[in-house]
Structure formats: C-alpha cells, structure tokens
Amino acid sequence: MRGGRHRSIVIQRQTILTIAVAVALLVGATGAATAQPAQGPPDDLPEPVPGFVSDILGAITEFIDGTVDFLGDVVRGLTPAGNAAGSNGFGP
C-alpha cells in the first residue's frame, strides 16, 4: 500500500513539474512575442498579480522538493476561495 502511495506522489510531482515547465515556456514565448520593437508598448498594462500567487508558487516549490505532501490542501488554504473547498467537485 505504501509503495502505491509513493508512486502516486512521484507521478503527481512529475505532473506538477511538467505543468510548471509548460506554463513557463508559454509565458516566455508570449513575452517574447509581445516585446517586438515595432509594436510599441500596450495601451493597458496588466495589474500586478495578487499576493497569494507568490505563496502558491512557493507551495509548488515545496511540493516538488518534498516538503509538502498534499499540494491541493495547501493551495486551497492559500487562495481567497479556499474556504469553499470541494465546490469544483474535486475536493473532499
């Protein structure tokens, strides 16, 4: 039973890491495309990200390095709608 749980955690970490890398690549590609000198700056600049986003990124890092076992519970607690756990059908 423990081996199956460990395998599941390893697969989850690999999945999260893959998603994080994909997002970084997509954001990098988008940033490079919007930084072309002929286009000039955009009219409306985006708002700064909310403070909890940095906390979530830190939690993902802790999950990847093994400090946190259950990322969903941590993220749920960090997000503003964290008190509505399970409202998307995936929570306990």
| pLDDT tens sequence across 20-57 | 787 777 776 555 555 555 566 666 656 787 778 888 88
Claim: this prediction has a pTM higher than 0.85: no
Tokens of 60: 């993902």
The rounded distance, in Å, linking the Cα atoms of 55 and 78 is 7
Report phi then psi at 65, rounded to 5: -85, 0
Tell me: pLDDT of 90 over 50: no
Helix (H, G, I), strand (E, B) or coil at 31: helix
Residues 64 and 73: beta-carbon distance below 8 Å: no
The rounded distance, in Å, linking the Cα atoms of 85 and 88 is 8
Domain range annotation of the chain: 1-38, 48-85
